[in-house]
Structure formats: structure tokens, C-alpha cells
Structure 1
Amino acid sequence: MYILKVLVEYANQSLDTTFDYLSNQYVETGCRVEISFRHRSIVGYVEMCSETSLTQDELEKSQGFKYQYIKSVIDQKPLLNKELLQLADYLAKLTLSPKIAVLQAMLPIQLKPNSTQGSGIRYEKYAVFKQDKLVKTVKQQEALAYMKEHKKVKVKDSPYSKAILDKLVEQTVIEYIQEEVKRDPFQDDIEMSQALKLSDDQQKVLFHISQKLGTYFTCLIHGVTGSGKTEVYLQLASQVIERQQSVLMMVPEIALTPMMVTAFKQRFGKKVAIIHSKLSSGERYDEYRRIEEGQVMVVVGARSAVFAPLKNIGLIIMDEEHDASYKQESTPRYLTSQVARKRALYHHCPLVLGSATPSLETYSRALKGVYDLCELPHRINQNPLPEVELIDMAQEIRKHNYSLFSSKMKTAIQSCLEKGEQVVLLLNKRGYASYMRCLDCGEVVKCPHCDVTLTYHKATQRLTCHYCDYSMPVSHTCPHCHSKQVKMVGYGTEKIEEQISQLFPLARVLRYDVDTTRKKNGHHRLLKEFEENKANVLVGTQMIAKGLDFPNVTFVGVLNADISLNIPDFRANERTYQLLEQVSGRSGRGSKQGTVMIQTYNPEHFVLQCVKEHDYQKFYQKEMKIRKLSHYPPFAHLVTLTIEGKDENEVKQSSQRIKTYLEKELTETVLGPAPCMIYRMSDEYRMRLMIKTTKSQMLYPVLSRVNDFYNKNKRKVRVICDFNPYTML
């Protein structure tokens, strides 16, 4: 008899411990088992299995509680290899998260330790010829002759009915077999490509990194947009594959995955697997097993791909390393680069970070020599970077132009379309209107569950909360005073799409945002249409700013550069520079010169001036001075504690108690408590404390005690510890 120590599937802190169960058979650590827990049948994850010579009665007598037997063993071998099991332990401690939450983040839905998974394997039924002998009817004889000729036929494709085939099975002349069908998430026909001739700059970068393959180090490739970073990645990957090692290639956005997958599939064919959240659960399960079974050499994917069960990794690449979507904003709140570094260290391989606009933290480490620094300062086509013009919208208003488009931008778009070229327009706000206001009483329609206004979506005729997904039908009557004088205020991508179609007869518009890409393969379908010139204007949110490479795009317009600049967040300047520089880089990537126009009410702002000059160094130096004065990263580590609960008074009181405790236990500066930018979200009130420190490791024992006190016991509030927070909402 064996005692199993089992983690249960519920990812909350109060259950972050093992429970003992009995088994008549040995079960390996890392396997799932079906158990009964609190009168429910759920899934558990085995942490340890040890043999005992005691009987069940003797065990219960010695331990003082009743033991239950497991119901069944789900897996015959562990779900995760030794490296990933160690990584799970590391992440749980690093993020102060329940270990089961880490395991659930690491695995595809069919393998997650929870009771909602199904059998993800898909089978095809075949009829197979066995022997030739006399059968009962002429029709059966014809079917048998057909089977003898073809040997093996899909039952659904057979020219003979299943009733006839069943009769042949009864007479033992054919048999049915089931064969697994692997789902392919990448359906496009691929034309294989050859390695391109590298520029001198690319060759230097390739040589520098390839000389150090087989050793652990981190390298930043700082290359302007269009400088050919992807080709360097491909040729590095080729060298690693020749060494019989695997490659992990990460991109921040699902939107970028199709383009990177295409590039890698064209070079490496079936050796490439894909991992991202837009795959169907079956596709993700099949891709995961292909990786686990060693059938692929390259994995391309978004954030969750960092947990791909690759063995013998020889290279890890994070493209657009600066992107905020590399930070997981729900439990476990990990930073992808931390996980990637841990895996690179385990496999003794390089971690390559690539960006035209690296994060200040990454670039400062590169300048200090902590990371290797490789520069790609020129575009591969030798074209200059696009000319950027800042349009002062205050002057447009003085000229009585109240349109969403400046007169110069209208002229530029019209000229571009007349020449048969393509336009990209960025507005980092989705929906049709920002909010609905009553002109009589002044009330704005807000979400009943969050302290935010509801955004109007014309396509669905609904007002929607972009934080909790609450929505309601739009009404043209004020819900407060019942006046009919209501007005839609502000604008989003949906309204821009409509106005472009009205203003420019030549325009064929595609909108690219969360709303238009929800469906399966939505990203891929829209980008393919734009690539094939079925549309000549692409309107989108920040999703269009990175990694997209369309040679016929010669004009990029930014409709309101001030949206991200005015957010009360210490990273607002950095994110705005990155967004604008990246979207500018979509223009003029082919043989034609590109232009960019940025509409703003603040054209003298240093961030916009740096974008105008494509001067990352100037931006870096100026922003670093600001960060140093205010003691923000990279000059300090940040940790935030968000205290949330349904009882407002309890949230405020608990926040103050935690502040007092932290000031008693720590020497670091503790800021707050202050209401979060969105004070109430999903019916919970939220207060925040912020700690600035140069030694974050010293905080762990103290924060762990706070975490245990509030989250492992039934309290009226919950505390979320976030190391390296990326959002201040």
C-alpha cells in the first residue's frame, strides 16, 4: 500500500498544501489522480508517493484522521519533466503563488490538474483488408474487392456504406482500426525558403552569438525597425538545429505569431510547433504532445510558450522583449524573461532579446555589460527610416477643423490610396465612442461593477465594460433623468473605420483590434487579407504596431498620440515612445520611402520629439534621469501589494494595518495605501501599497507572512503581491 501526497485542483492559497490519500499501486510524482475531496470528485496532482507497511486502520489510528483511497490514476507517466518540475517550484516561491496555479499555467487545458479537461485525442476510423474469401452477397464481394485493392480506407470516405463494411467485419475479411489524427493549427501551404544573404551588421551579430552557442549568456539585439532581426533569428536557429538542439522562439502578441510561424515554417517545415492561447484546445494538446515526444525542433509562440516541454534547448529568443504582454497579469504573476533566463541557465544556452525599442531595464543592463549588446543600426534595404511629422491638433481647432483627421493627414491618405499604396492608422482605443453622456443632467453611464465608463460598440449596439465584460443594450434615454438628450462622446477604432469609409471612396478598410480578432484564426485571416491587398487601409489598436511587415505600406498615421502619454504611470513615457516608434517602423519597409504623421496636442513633448528624430539614445538618457530622480526601475525594484475585497471599510483598514506592519519589519520606503486607479473593479474595492527596494530578495520572508495571513485563512480581503508590476490600474 502507498501513501500519496496530493495537491488538489483548487488554485487558492488556503488549499496550497498536500493532502494524504492511499493507493494500491505506485504512482509517480507528477501524475494526476482522480480523488474525492469534500464530497466532490476532482483531480489531484501527486507530489510524493511512499510505501507503507501499516494497514489503513493502523494508519488512521496513528495519524488521528481517516484516509481515503484514490479513485483512479489518470496519467501513466509524469506530465512535466525534471526541469519543468523544478521550474514550477521556483515560480511558486518567486511569485508567492499556489503551486497548483503554476502547474495549471504551464500545461494545456487537457493536461491541467483540474476536473474540466476531456480526452483531447482525436481518432480516425479505418477499414483494413485482412483476407480474401467468399462473402454472402454480390455487393459485399464488390466491397471486398475494393478493400483488397486499397488495403486501408477511411470509413467516412469509403464508397460503400458502413452497413456493408460492418457485414465484412462480421465475416472477418476486414477489420476496423482507430488511428490518432494530429490537428494542424497552421493550414496554409508553405513554400520553403532559403537563407538570405546577410548585411555586414547582421553578419557581425550572427557571428558574435554563434561563437558562444553552448554557453549561458543573455544578448540584446538592438535593431531599428526593418533591420532584419528575424533573418538573424532564423540563421541562428539553423545552426542550433544542426547541433541537434531545439529552439524556443517567443513573440509577445498572438497577432505576431502567424508571421513568425510562417517565417520559421518556410525555413524548417514540419520541425516547427505553435503554442498560443488562440489555438483550439485540441490543437494545443496535439502541439504540446508533438513537442513532448521530440517530434519538433522549434517552438514558436506567445507568453505561455516559455513552458514548452522542449528538451536539450540550444537557443531561446524573445522578440520585442520590451512588450508588456510578456508579463502575466493574473496568478502566477511571472515575468517571461525571468522564466526564460532560468531555462537558458538550466540548458547552458543563450537567451537572445530583440527590440528596436528595448526596455530601459534591459538596455541599461546591456550598457553595463551584464548582457551582451549587438546593434543593427540600419534597415536591410538601406532605405532611411520614415520621415515623421508631428501635427498640432490645437492649431487644427483654431482653423475650425474639428474632424478626427488633420487636413494634412487627409491629403496624405488620399495621395497614398491614389498611388495604389497602403495605409496603417493607429488609435489605441477600441469601440465606437468612449462613453455616453446626458446633456441635461450631465451623468455618464458607468459600469455597475467597476469605476469606469461603458464604451459604446456600434456593431453590437451595446455599452461594454472593458474590465469585467459587463454589457447592456444601448438606450437613447438617460437612465438617471430619462432625458432623450444623450450624446456619444469620444471615438475608437470602430468610429475611425466608419469615417475612413465615408471620407475616402478608394478606401477598403480592415479594422484590427480585440473585437475583430476574437474568432479562431481572426488575426491570421485579417493580416492575410491586408497582405494580399484585399484592403488598403488597416485601422487598429497597439496590436498593429509591432512586427508586421507589409512592403506596400508607405503611410502610417497616429490619430491621438496623447492617449498613452497622459496615463498616470511611471512607464507612460517609455510605452508611448515604444508604441510610436514601433508603429512608425511599419512604414516604408519595401522599396518605397515611408512617411508618418502623428496627431497630438503636445508636439513639444520630449517623447514625441525623440520619435520624430528616431533617437532612442536621446530618449533613453532623458528618461533615465527622470527614473533616477524618482527612484524607479532600473534604479530600484518595485513590489506592489493590492488589497481587495467587497467590504470597503475592511479593505481600507487592512491596507493601513499592512502598511504599519511593513514599516515595522522593513527599512524600505512603503508608499500608500492609496486607491488603485480603478478603485472598484468587478464589485471589489482595491487599495494599493508600493515598495521601492534595491534588494527585493530581502522582502520575501515579510511578504510571505502577509500573504499567508490574509490568503491562507478566511479573511474579508485578499492580498496580491506583484513583483515587477507592469500596470498601475
Structure 2
Amino acid sequence: MIIHAAVLGRPVDTLRYRGDASLAPGDLVRVSLGTERVPACVVATEEGNQQGLKEVEELLVTNLFPQILLELAEHVAGEHLGFLGEALGLILPRDIMMPPKRKVKKPESEKDQRRLRMRADESRILQAFKKSSKPMLVHSPADYTALLVELIRDVMSRGRGVLLIFPDEPSLARFHERLSAYLPLALYHSEMGQGERRRVWHGVRQGRLPLVAGLRSAVLLPFTNPGLIVASDEESDSHRVRSHHLHYNARDLAVFRAEKEGARVLLFSLTPSLETSHKARSGRLLWIERRVAQHGKALIVDMKKEEEGTALSKPLLAELKAASGRGMQALLLLNRLGLAARLLCLDCGHVPTCPSCDMPFKFLKKGAALVCPICHNEIPAPEHCPECGGARWQSLSFGLESLDRELKRCFPHDRLLKITAEHRPIIEDAQQAKIIYGTSAVLEYLPPKVQVAALLSWDAERSRADFRAAERAFRNVAYLRRILTSSAQSRLVIQTFRPRNRLLLWALKGDYEAFFQSEVRRRRELGYPPYRRLLLFERGLTKSSWDAEKLLETIKHEGVEALGPYRGRRGRSRILVKLRRDLKPADLIHARTLLRSGWQAEVDPTEIL
């Protein structure tokens, strides 16, 4: 029998071996690859001439991958320019490959069986969910614990599994704390010990763990009969999985998987992504919005009236000192601009943008020029602002180092805590600190006593070199609101050179509809999602065998627009490609060709620089 096997975790095509007729798709086997003996998954069998084929060395586990997981892996590999073995390696990491020696126990079943009293809006959502078969988007900051407990119990009573996906560990921990008293909940994420992850993976496969909450990788767990998949904070960039070659969005994969397995999908969002909102408005999702009272009084600080170069305005300092005196907490958000400075008018707050691709120009002091980071459009730095005619310009470039110094100087006795993507403290540290500050990673934490939440530079937030800059700025204001306590003394402070910016005013009012209509119109004009798909190529760390021109020639296709090459993070060359919605990345380039070229690709990237 000819055995077609995909080597787990390897960027190689499916290989042919000879093996016993009892082998079937989904079996885990050991095969030889060069001088190595490696695990592989049987994906197909056929009769034929076996001469010259190596033999399958060993059957490890029968039917480890049910058919749905094979289809899921094929979808991930096909959509994201990867190999089937790579995708299967994501489903079954090597450290949890073999079944545990100890029998997997079911979670403690003695739970509080009381029915939680649902609010009126929760009851309406439940009824709407039961009447429709479509995926549902719930657009609201409210807590839906009672609704989820009722839904999960209903699904599990019919013998089906439930999967809940969260973007980060703090939100997963909060959910576990709320629901573990009512439901037999198992957790699954990469920070767990190897043995525990193995037990959960195989417990799900055996049907002993029907209810699991986890992070991104949980969407690939081997459920045999899922009935409900829930994604919290669907708009979060943290749902994005970035492995060596394959990149995918756990939210999108959850929707695909649910459709394949006849499961229901429930998405929760504080500020839905433009793509999800667009799907809802086109009838592909059932959309329910519920407004709630916003916490905290908003305070807009006009930075034109403040000392030049300061990170902490006088009004913000006063609020911080008052909150500290009351024994309360403060949280400060300062997203670093990244690769280069922007030029900002000190009189009106205008930041020059490229007329071709709507990206903020980066300011080159040497030569006094403005250069688009994407299309390389270059113009002389203007003497006068085209918006107001002013002649006072400032290089807008922010970092955490200067904020560190200011905070330590102004609050020498308060406990400070910095949070970045590279430094994520435990939740208890955030609960005890007086002032928490950092990049967008701080928004994952919800300290219990925050009375001051501040966005230190609205202009830097809005001027990020990314087509999603407006969406992220709007979202971050909503996230800061969510962090505040309901106290009348709570303050949301926004520092900006443009206090009348309409996007800022929409964000402060929570006017998502006005923001959506404006932003979706801009995306349509510029050819960005949801109207076109994006494909981002990046030159690998090793020397690429292809230059940018050869890659551009290879991917040339009707309905394709390429921007670049341009410099991305770590100085690596990038090319951004816009595709018509009906085109697939595989229509442009095959995974094997991409691997040979020395370039890497990310489909539907969340960041383009």
C-alpha cells in the first residue's frame, strides 16, 4: 500500500512511503526523512507500484487526527501559503504528541448548579441566538457571565463540546475566576506545563473534557463534536498566531471550523473590527449591540498649551496625584511610534500624510524631507502647515524612557509598574501598583482600582504608519474607558495637539457608527480590507535567493497591486500586496516556490510595518 504522509512541523511536501494496508488517514506514524526518524500523519492511501519507496517504520497512534482536523490543517496550509505538515504540527506540538501515561480525569463535576439570573438584554440575546443559525456578534462592554453559563449548560446537556477562545492570559484568568464555580472548565495555553497540556489535549480527543477555555492555539484542539465556539474580544490583534512560516487568526479559524462541524459561533467585542462589522452588515453575522453607561468623565488636554516635550501635562499630573492620595490606581498608555518620527504642527496638530496611500510621512532631519514609509513618495518638509499656515513644527517621536524618568521624578514614593509586549508581569503585580504604564499590553490588565486612565499621545496613536491606525486609536479609547472604576471621581485623560479631532470626539462619545461609516469609506477608496485582501511578503533573516524584482514578477496578476519594497521592522525588506477578494494567495505563488525564494508571507496581516 502506498502511504501519503505529512511530516509534522516541517516545510516539506507530502511524501510517499510503503506501508501496511491497515494504515488509514489520521494515523500517527514514524518515518525516515533523510537521516532522521520523524513523526508524520497519514493523509491518504492508495494501491500502486511501491518500488523504491521507503517503508513506514512504526505506527504510533491510530486515528490521532480525525477527518475534521485534517480538513482544518489543509485549510490553514492552503490559505496561508504553508505546508500540510506545518499545519498539522500546530495542531499537535511535539511535546504533547504521545498520550499521557496517567488516565485523563474529568474535571470536578460538583459545581454550583443554580441558574444564574440573567438581565433582560441577556435573555433577548439568548432567544435571538436560539432562533438563528448564523454566527452572532455581541457588541457591548457588558459582562455576560449568566448568558454564557446558560448557553454552555444547554450545549453540554446535548452531548456536545464547548470551546472558548481568549486573546490573552489576563482575560482568560478573569473568565476562569468567574465561571469555574459553575462549570467543569479545563484550561489550555502555552504557559501551562508540558504534562498538563498533554493531558488536556488527549482528554479533549477522548471526549473526557467537553469544555475548554484557552488562548489562540486552543482553536485547534481535537474536539470530536463541538457545539459552540466563543471568541472573546474578537477584534484583538492578539488572536493572531505567528509561527515560523504559518500565520493565522484564531477568530477566523473558529468561524471556519464551526461551519465545517455544524457548531454555533458567538463573538464578543467592545469595538468590533471593521472586517467583522462589515460581515454583520452584509447579513453574514447576526449583530446585537447594547450600549451601557460609560465610566469616567473625559478630560481632553490641549498639549499646545503645555511645556514642549513633556509626557505628563499639568492637568494629568493633578489627576494622578489626587488619585494617589485617595489610594487609587492610574493606568497610562503610550504606544511607541516605532520606526521613525513624524512631523507635527504645534499650532493645529496636523501630521502630513502621503496622498497616495494615506500613511503618515516619516520625517528625515537630514535633508529636511518627508518620505512615505510604504510607497517612497518624497517631498520637501514644508515651512508652513497646509492646514493652518503655522510655521512651528515638532518631531513627533515618543518613547517609554522619557516617561520613565518623568514618573520617577514626580512620584518617587509610589509603586510604578511598566508593561510592554516584552515584559508582562503577573496579574497580582498590576493589582498592587499605584501607576501602571506602557504600550498596548497594559490594556490586557484590568486593575481593580483605576480612577485615572490616560492616553498620553492621541496624535502618536493616530499617526501610526498603518492603515488600521484610526481603528486602533478608537479601540484604545474604549479599552481605557473599560478599565476605569464606576466612581464619580474617575477620569479619562486624553493628551493631544488636536482637541477637536472628529475621530477623537467620536471615540469619547462611543459613536461607533460614525467612526465605522467614515473609516469604511476611506478603506474602500484606498483599497484596504474589508474590500481587498492583503498579503505581506518579508525577506527572511537568511540571505534570500530572490531579489524583490523577481518576487514582484512572480506574483504579477490581474487584480493585484503591489507596494514596495520598503523597510519594515529590524530593517527587513517588505512588499505589501493588495488582492481582489476573489483571489487566493495560492493563486499568486505556491508554498514550495515561496520557500525556495527565501521570502516569508503573512496573509491578512494585522500590521504592515
Give the TM-score normalised by the residue count of structure 1.
0.69
Aligned residue pairs total: 554
Partner residue, 2:381? none
Matched, 1:512 2:436: no
How far residue 358 of structure 1 moved from its aligned partner, in angstroms, is 0.4
Matched, 1:537 2:424: no
Q: Output the CA distance in 2 between the equivalents of 1:649 and 1:8.
A: 25
How far residue 688 of structure 1 moved from its aligned partner, in angstroms, is 0.8
How far residue 492 of structure 1 moved from its aligned partner, in angstroms, is 4.9
Correspondence list, 1:491-640, <5 A? 492-493=399-400, 496=403, 499-504=406-411, 507-517=414-424, 526-531=426-431, 534-546=432-444, 548-588=445-485, 590=486, 592=488, 594-640=490-536
How far residue 199 of structure 1 moved from its aligned partner, in angstroms, is 2.9
Q: Output the CA distance in 1 between the equivalents of 2:196 and 2:25.
A: 27
Q: Output the CA distance in 2 between the equivalents of 1:655 and 1:49.
A: 36
How far residue 10 of structure 1 moved from its aligned partner, in angstroms, is 5.6
Residue 80 of structure 1, aligned match among 65, 70, 77: 65
Matched, 1:35 2:20: no
Indicate conservation of the 8 Å contact 1:632/1:692, yes or no.
Answer: no
Specify the SS of the correspondent of 1:409.
helix
Partner residue, 1:162? none
Partner residue, 1:218? 135
Partner residue, 2:22? 26
Return the letter of the residue paired with 1:267. Y
Matched, 1:703 2:581: no
Specify the SS of the correspondent of 1:373.
strand
Correspondence list, 1:328-727, <5 A? 328-330=241-243, 331-379=245-293, 384-397=294-307, 402-429=309-336, 492-493=399-400, 496=403, 499-504=406-411, 507-517=414-424, 526-531=426-431, 534-546=432-444, 548-588=445-485, 590=486, 592=488, 594-642=490-538, 644=540, 650-658=546-554, 662-663=556-557, 666=558, 668-678=559-569, 680-681=571-572, 686-697=573-584, 700=586, 702-705=587-590, 707-711=591-595, 715=596, 717-727=597-607
Report Cα offsets for 1:243-289 as digits up to 9, x if no partner: 33221111112332211222221221xx2111222222222112212
Which of 598-607 and 80-89 deviates more?
Answer: 598-607
Q: Output the CA distance in 2 between the equivalents of 1:405 and 1:281.
A: 44
Report Cα offsets for 1:141-173 as digits up to 9, x if no partner: xxxxxxxxxxxxxxxxxxxxxxxxxxxxxxxxx
Return the letter of the residue paired with 1:5. H
Q: Which runs of 5+ in 2 are unaligned?
A: 342-395
Partner residue, 1:198? 118
Partner residue, 1:484? none
Specify the SS of the correspondent of 2:180.
helix
Indicate conservation of the 8 Å contact 2:43/2:70, yes or no.
Answer: no
Any runs of at least 4 consecutive aligned residues in structure 1 with deviations exceeding 6 A, and if so which? 181-184
Return the letter of the residue paired with 2:28. R
Select the structure of larger CA radius of gyration.
1
Indicate conservation of the 8 Å contact 2:528/2:578, yes or no.
Answer: no
How far residue 45 of structure 1 moved from its aligned partner, in angstroms, is 2.4
Indicate conservation of the 8 Å contact 2:17/2:55, yes or no.
Answer: no
How far residue 220 of structure 1 moved from its aligned partner, in angstroms, is 1.0
Specify the SS of the correspondent of 2:55.
coil
Q: Output the CA distance in 2 between the equivalents of 1:610 and 1:256.
A: 26
Partner residue, 1:17? 14
Specify the SS of the correspondent of 2:24.
coil
Indicate conservation of the 8 Å contact 2:477/2:508, yes or no.
Answer: no
Report Cα offsets for 1:308-361 as digits up to 9, x if no partner: 222322211111111122233443222323321222223323211111110112
Q: RMSD in angstroms over aligned alpha carbons?
A: 3.4
Structure 1 residues 387 and 615 mapped into 2: Cα distance closer, same or farther (>3 Å)?
farther
Specify the SS of the correspondent of 2:171.
helix
Indicate conservation of the 8 Å contact 2:506/2:514, yes or no.
Answer: yes
Q: Which runs of 5+ in 1 are unaligned?
A: 113-118, 123-178, 436-488
Structure 1 residues 406 and 83 mapped into 2: Cα distance closer, same or farther (>3 Å)?
same
Q: Output the CA distance in 2 between the equivalents of 1:696 and 1:328.
A: 22
How far residue 418 of structure 1 moved from its aligned partner, in angstroms, is 1.4
How far residue 612 of structure 1 moved from its aligned partner, in angstroms, is 2.2
Return the letter of the residue paired with 2:240. K
Partner residue, 1:98? 83
Report Cα offsets for 1:107-143 as digits up to 9, x if no partner: 243245xxxxxx6747xxxxxxxxxxxxxxxxxxxxx
Q: Output the CA distance in 2 between the equivalents of 1:611 and 1:192.
A: 40
Calculate percent identity across the aligned residue pairs.
Answer: 22
Matched, 1:293 2:206: yes
Indicate conservation of the 8 Å contact 1:275/1:305, yes or no.
Answer: yes
Indicate conservation of the 8 Å contact 1:229/1:354, yes or no.
Answer: no
Specify the SS of the correspondent of 1:416.
helix
Matched, 1:310 2:208: no
How far residue 364 of structure 1 moved from its aligned partner, in angstroms, is 2.2
